[in-house]
């Protein structure tokens, strides 16, 4: 079952209108996190179109040979309905993928500082007399 696409960076779910607008664009900017992602839908839409075509041909063939009607009007109605259904479902086949260089950069440290973040050792308890019972205790 197709579902609405989401941002690969923050997980924001795009609505139907934004995913249908993304069909005409190569890159899309996320509304929530502001990062740019690439749009891909052609392969999924092609697979779905092929399945619709095969099912439509089978349905039209069965109806044509098993009905008493000699008009082709019901087959045209089936075809138009399938085309409209396909066009409605194509925006659900859109998927977004990350673009290199869009990840959050590592936090920069100030100049002439340690190259790692300092952590405070408040939880570590030290002995009152650390040199007790050693050679320095004499």
> What would the pLDDT profile of 92-120 be if each residue is shown by its tens digit?
888 888 887 766 666 666 665 555 556 66
Indicate the pTM of the whole model. 0.61
pLDDT in tens, the chain (138 residues): 567 888 888 888 888 888 888 888 888 888 888 888 888 888 888 898 999 999 999 988 888 888 887 788 888 888 999 999 998 888 888 888 888 776 666 666 666 555 555 666 666 666 567 677 777 766
Alpha helices, DSSP H only, in 8-136? 16-21, 42-66, 73-89
Q: Which residues contact 72 (CB under 8 A, 6 or more apart)?
A: 64
pLDDT digits (tens, 9 = 90+) for 18-27: 888 888 888 8
């Amino acid at each position: 079952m197709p579902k609405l696409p989401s941002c690969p960076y923050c997980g924001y779910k795009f609505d139907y209108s934004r995913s249908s607008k993304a069909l005409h664009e190569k890159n899309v900017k996320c509304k929530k996190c502001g990062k740019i992602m690439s749009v891909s839908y052609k392969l999924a839409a092609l697979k779905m179109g092929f399945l619709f075509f095969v099912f439509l041909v089978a349905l039209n063939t069965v109806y044509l040979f098993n009905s008493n009607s000699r008009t082709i009007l019901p087959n045209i109605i089936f075809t138009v309905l399938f085309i409209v259904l396909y066009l409605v479902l194509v925006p659900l086949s859109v998927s977004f993928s990350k673009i290199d260089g869009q990840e959050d950069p590592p936090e920069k440290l100030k100049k002439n500082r340690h190259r790692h973040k300092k952590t405070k050792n408040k939880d570590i308890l030290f002995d009152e007399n650390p040199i007790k019972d050693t050679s320095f205790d004499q």
